[in-house]
Amino acid sequence: MSLCKDRVAIVTGAGRGVGRAYALMLARHGAKVLVNDLGSASDGMGADQAPAQQVADEIRAMGGEAVADTTDVADWEGAERMIRAAVDAFGRLDVLINNAGILRDRMLVNMTEDEWDTIIRVHLKGTFAPTHHAANYWRLQHKTGNPVDARVINTTSHSALFANIGQANYAAAKAGIATFSLVAARELQRYGVTVNALAPRANTRLTEGLREWTPEEEERRRPEWIAALVTWLASPESRNVSGRVFEAWGGGYTVAESWQHGPIAPASKDPAELGPRISGIVKHARSNAGIDRDVWLDP
């Protein structure tokens, strides 16, 4: 079965890890793929054309269609060229998967300005810039009467959703991406574009050395489990799913339920009256979900 037959997809950060798994599975399901990867180290330093080219070659070797691209996704003009490159190569664009990312972990009292700025640039701007240019392409297609059934799939993180210590920069950027995805879903639905985000759990070079995993955990953290969901979200079958944030790994898929209104207290212009009121609503509010709390439902 080819869920994405003849669809054209861009996958950023596709030279390694989960991005590579996304590109390969999309290709196996009939998609034509622009494989984007700057080829930097896990901290964002350096560049290498080989990772993107190797994945593109692998796709072509199995009979698919792919081109390699080494654009810096956070470069404004570069992101526009990347969108144009996919259209020039394959005649259209249907799917944008924003996956490129790096890590520069540090406790916030030790974090440098550059460590903050670089992470925000790569993750948050590196999601916004390609999405902006892709959205303008789809808006033009819609205005000229061409049917649009497009997808944006962004990458957030459990660190963002559940507040992992030591990652204030990364978590802030990824939380921004989650909310950006919800706003973009509402704005772009008029053009025939769905927008979703997912928080993957997988063993990649960004998670190396975090802890030892059992064989069962290793299997559940293989990127193919996440690539399956990404491929389905990229397909025409997902046209009615938008504005959602998914958690994904081999243990299952779940929908993160975003911010919810909690208990309410009467307002007052006198701060001296607020102590019992605020203490009361805090007491009756649900605790924040923790990073280690899982709710997995069997089908």
Q: What is the largest CA-CA distance in the chain?
A: 72
The secondary structure element, H or E, covering residue 291 is none
Sheet harboring 32-36: ordered strands across?
66-69, 32-36, 8-12, 95-98, 150-155, 193-200, 245-249, 252-256
Q: Is 22 a catalytic residue?
A: no
Q: Which of 40, 125, 137, 174 is catalytic?
A: 174
Q: Is 170 a catalytic residue?
A: yes
- Residues 216-232 as b/e (b if ≥16 CB within 10 A, e otherwise) read eeeebbebebbbbbbbb
Q: Which of 125, 137, 159, 170 is catalytic?
A: 170
Q: How far is CA 87 from CA 32, 96, 204, 266, in A?
A: 11, 12, 30, 55
Please give the DSSP secondary-structure letter assigned to residue 289.
P
Q: Which of 157, 159, 235, 242 is catalytic?
A: 157
Cα separation of 211 and 1, whole Å?
A: 37
Q: Which two tokens stand for residue 218?
A: 């290793």
Q: Collapsing DSSP states into helix, strand and coil, what is residue 10? A: strand
Q: Is 268 a catalytic residue?
A: no
Q: Which pairs from 239-244 meet CB under 8 Å and 24+ separation?
A: 239/149, 239/194, 241/194, 241/196, 242/185, 242/189, 242/194, 242/195, 242/196, 243/181, 243/182, 243/185, 243/186, 243/195, 243/196, 244/196, 244/197
How many other C-beta atoms are found inside a 10 Å radius of the C-beta of residue 145? 6
Please report, for the chain, how many H helices and E strands are present, in that order. 10, 8
Q: Which two tokens stand for residue 260?
A: 């919810």
Cα separation of 69 and 162, whole Å?
A: 33
User: Which residues are designated catalytic?
Assistant: 157, 170, 174
